[in-house]
Chains A and B, each alone.
Chain A
Amino acid sequence: MKKKKILSILLVSAMTVSMFAGCGKKQEAPAEGESSGDSKEGGITVAAIETAYGSKMWEDVCAAFTEETGVKVELITDKNLEDVIGPSMQAGDYPDVIHLATGREKALTETFIKDQNIVDITDVLSMTVPGESEKVGDKIAGGFTETSLTNPYGDGKTYLAPMFYSPCGLFYNAGLMKEKGWEMPATWDEMWELGDKAKKEGISLFTYPTTGYFDAFFYALMYSVGGPEFFDKATNYEEGIWDSEEAKTCFDIVSKLASYTEPTTPSQANDQDFTKNQQLVLDNKALFMPNGTWIVGEMAEAPRAEGFEWGMTALPAVKEGGDSYSYTWFEQAWIPGGAKNQDDAKQFVAFLYSDKACELFAGAVNAEGEPAPAIQPVLGIADTLEGDNQMFYGIYDNGAKAAMGNFAAYDSGVVGVSNREVWFDPVNSLVSGNITEEEWIEGIKKNNDQMRENLIK
């Protein structure tokens, strides 16, 4: 009996001790941090999403930054960056610089924008690039620091630094167009004519990877229909804007496009199967899809129709002689409000626009070792490009205007809906015929007021 009791006590104490051992480790961790904290005192933590550009370029840039300024950088890169830095941020431990674009499913950047939890970096623009004599603001190409993507609250202050830009437009098989002798449509009317011609050959006019790709498409469409003025009003949810003539034109074009869309598209328009939709273009089953320059690297290994050649065009004009627009998609780097070493973080952001960093980014290779240049939005960079990229980035030299910006940020007063759900997801149902254009517009109008009332001013 006594033996049994002693044994139980032993077991329980073993369990208790092991439990405290767990706590002990926790206490140890910060202790370790402290010891390395001496060297970290001037150091920063940089968290960067690993995308099609690979993560090697970030290692190189961080090393170059340390070499230039002597500030140590601890780098975190991951394809699911939100899952890696999210838990520690919920516990109050923030990286000093985060490179993560808006428009991701987990919407971490949007969350910080809504919470107004991002450091104002307007002063970085007037800082000198480390190791150079030029100012950051003079190096960044025009327009990039004036959009709602970088100045989300429309107060003239910059909170997010523009990174890696990519022109978006309609991607197609240039080889097929040549082979069939089809002209590139300059207006939407010509587009529909081409759609009818292609239909006779069993080719659909249009497909899209997921409805998420409609943002760039729709923004460019709004620009080409009503110019920057209409775009600003619409993205600020102005009252009655969706009843306007311009809005009607946009909706009509998307609805008509839906009727020309390859019928299997909606069932594959999810995060798992979207490459099947992209494959439709490679297989000559669909002519156009909205996309960005990363598509070339993304589908590099995919089989394709004979004579396939990537082509990219801006959105057709609404009327003959009208403007055609190509949306400029870019990513963002920002400093979270909880960053401890904000001065060095700002230095790092400034360094991202140095010639050295731009060169390292442009020389990026992806995980398969293929070149995947990440292009910083600095002046004169497009001249240094080669191959497909020369054509893609040259789109603005060929008459297309650049469309930039997005829907204005609203605060947490908007609950339960998002722009994508309201504006773009219903396109799936338009294509499959489960809703009508009127129902789509009705849904938009219903939510527009809610968003306007909660705009962050």
Chain B
Amino acid sequence: MKKGSGRSRFVFLCAAPAVLLFMIFMIIPTINVFRMSLFRRSAYSVNEEFVGIENFARLMSDENFIRSMQNTILLIVVVTIVTFAFALVFAAILTREEIKGQNFFRIIFYIPNILSVVVISAIFSAIYDTNNGMLNSLLSLLSGKTVAILWKGETVVMTSLIVAMIWQAIGYYMVMYMASMASVPQSLYESAGLDGAGRITQFFQITLPLIWTNIRTTLTFFIISTINMAFLFVKAMTSGGPNGASEVALSYMYKQAYTNSSYGYGMAIGALVFLFSFGLSALVNMVTRREPLEF
């Protein structure tokens, strides 16, 4: 008995520092965001006024917020699907097939991930430049007439963002999938091959089911990182413009909290985005739940 209480005290002491740090730096600030979302205040306000759910009610009729949420969802859906597909296919090719310069490709695909978002935005600014940009020059060369598409103009700016984000993300997920594909035993493929299964069948029947846990994890990553990365890309590439066409949830939150001095309103957006990403991750997790396969 005495030993038991000594042990639990020991465990308590061991866990205490970590729990304390977690409380101070994670739990309390998060609660604070929710608390501040119920107030009308600026970032440096001495006084704050309790307004209840007014901020949230206002959000529901704020066209700009709705547009920024639409943009965020568009990014999550399109970037996830396209990146997921490309990363899986590239990973399968690089692990399963014997091609020359495998390592070279691996590095090439991974490089965008090492670059900072600011560098990537600078690269894409050069690509998207209307007058001297690579993309328009290439299109002009191919079509034989001068192409002057405004890649950062109101109508196509989201597409341009999506392309840049996919380019940046593929390498990271590819390496993750490669790691788990490499641990799938070779013997499974051999016996499947003897049974007459082609490469595509092998991919869908063996590779995919066996790396399923990994895929589920990355899907959550996709949601969280797209929401976060979108903010960086928008900040560095378009500042939300032209006229708010490329505003995403977090950049809109930042704008409200600081530029418009509506800190409480910004926090309300933060709270909603928090719940949204939490809910979406939970949903995806639930939908993709399968009995894990052992090999």
B46 touching A117 by the CB < 8 A rule?
A: yes
Q: How far is the CA of A427 from the CA of B65 in the complex (A)?
A: 20
B130 touching A267 by the CB < 8 A rule?
A: yes
Chain B minimum-CB-distance residue to A412: B40
Residues of A with C-beta under 8 A to B101: none
A107 touching B259 by the CB < 8 A rule?
A: yes
A19 touching B241 by the CB < 8 A rule?
A: no
A418 touching B260 by the CB < 8 A rule?
A: yes
Q: How far is the CB of B100 from chain A (nearest CB, A)?
A: 39
Q: How far is the CB of B251 from chain A (nearest CB, A)?
A: 12
A412 touching B42 by the CB < 8 A rule?
A: yes
Q: How far is the CB of B20 from chain A (nearest CB, A)?
A: 7
Partner of A270, one of B21, B58, B239, B262: B239
Chain A minimum-CB-distance residue to B61: A416
Q: Cβ of B278 < 8 Å from any Cβ of A?
A: no
Q: How far is the CA of A429 from the CA of B49 in the complex (A)?
A: 36
A434 touching B155 by the CB < 8 A rule?
A: yes
B239 touching A266 by the CB < 8 A rule?
A: no
Residues of B with C-beta under 8 A to A270: 152, 237-242
B21 touching A271 by the CB < 8 A rule?
A: no
Q: How far is the CB of A224 from chain B (nearest CB, A)?
A: 26
Partner of A111, one of B40, B42, B154: B42
Stretch of B9-17, B70-78, B198-206, B218-226 lying at the A interface: B9-17
Q: Cβ of B103 < 8 Å from any Cβ of A?
A: no
- The number of residues on chain B lying at the interface, defined by a beta carbon within 8 Å of a beta carbon of chain A, is 52
Stretch of A8-16, A304-312, A327-335, A380-388 lying at the B interface: A8-16
Residues of B with C-beta under 8 A to A12: 13-14, 17
Residues of B with C-beta under 8 A to A89: 44
Q: Cβ of B213 < 8 Å from any Cβ of A?
A: no
Partner of A106, one of B40, B49, B259, B264: B259
Residues of B with C-beta under 8 A to A272: 121, 125, 236-239
Interface string of B148-179 (1 = CB under 8 A from A): 10111111010000000000000000000000
A269 touching B259 by the CB < 8 A rule?
A: no
Q: How far is the CB of B241 from chain A (nearest CB, A)?
A: 5
Q: How far is the CB of B152 from chain A (nearest CB, A)?
A: 4
Q: How far is the CA of A115 from the CA of B262 in the complex (A)?
A: 11
Q: Cβ of B258 < 8 Å from any Cβ of A?
A: yes
B58 touching A415 by the CB < 8 A rule?
A: yes
Chain B stretch 232-252: residues in CB contact (< 8 A) with chain A: 236-244
Q: How far is the CA of A110 from the CA of B255 in the complex (A)?
A: 13
B239 touching A264 by the CB < 8 A rule?
A: no
Residues of B with C-beta under 8 A to A434: 154-155, 243
Given the contacts A264-B150, A415-B262, A432-B153, A269 and B242 also touching, CB distance less than 8 Å = yes
Q: How far is the CA of A30 from the CA of B154 in the complex (A)?
A: 51
Q: How far is the CA of A267 from the CA of B157 in the complex (A)?
A: 8
Q: How far is the CA of A272 from the CA of B262 in the complex (A)?
A: 25
Chain A minimum-CB-distance residue to B130: A264
A417 touching B260 by the CB < 8 A rule?
A: yes
Partner of B150, one of A86, A427, A432: A432
Chain A minimum-CB-distance residue to B24: A19
Residues of B with C-beta under 8 A to A28: none
A266 touching B154 by the CB < 8 A rule?
A: yes
Residues of B with C-beta under 8 A to A413: 40
Q: How far is the CB of B210 from chain A (nearest CB, A)?
A: 37
Q: How far is the CA of A400 from the CA of B168 in the complex (A)?
A: 52
A115 touching B44 by the CB < 8 A rule?
A: yes
A267 touching B262 by the CB < 8 A rule?
A: no
Q: Cβ of A245 < 8 Å from any Cβ of B?
A: no
Q: Cβ of B62 < 8 Å from any Cβ of A?
A: yes
Chain B minimum-CB-distance residue to A276: B129
Q: How far is the CA of A252 from the CA of B72 in the complex (A)?
A: 35
Q: Cβ of B256 < 8 Å from any Cβ of A?
A: yes
Given the contacts A337-B46, A428-B241, A110 and B125 also touching, CB distance less than 8 Å = no
Q: Cβ of A263 < 8 Å from any Cβ of B?
A: yes
Residues of B with C-beta under 8 A to A16: 16-17
Q: How far is the CA of A8 from the CA of B264 in the complex (A)?
A: 44
A266 touching B44 by the CB < 8 A rule?
A: no
Chain A stretch 241-294: residues in CB contact (< 8 A) with chain B: 263-264, 266-273, 276
Residues of A with C-beta under 8 A to B58: 415-416
- Interface residue ranges, A against B (CB under 8 Å): 5, 8-9, 12, 15-16, 19, 82, 86, 89-90, 105-108, 110-112, 114-115, 117, 210-211, 263-264, 266-273, 276, 337-338, 412-413, 415-418, 421, 425-429, 432, 434-435
- Interface residue ranges, B against A (CB under 8 Å): 10, 13-14, 16-18, 20-21, 40-47, 49, 55, 58, 62, 64-65, 121, 125, 129-131, 148, 150-155, 157, 236-244, 256, 258-262, 264-265
* Further 19 A-B residue pairs, CB within 8 A, beyond A273-B125, A429-B243, A432-B154: A9-B10, A19-B17, A19-B20, A86-B43, A105-B258, A105-B259, A107-B258, A107-B261, A112-B44, A114-B261, A266-B153, A266-B241, A267-B152, A268-B152, A269-B241, A270-B152, A270-B242, A415-B40, A415-B265
A-B contact pairs, 22 of them (CB 8 A): A19-B17, A86-B43, A105-B258, A107-B259, A107-B260, A111-B42, A264-B131, A267-B152, A268-B130, A269-B242, A272-B125, A276-B129, A337-B46, A412-B40, A412-B41, A413-B40, A416-B260, A416-B265, A421-B64, A426-B243, A432-B242, A434-B154
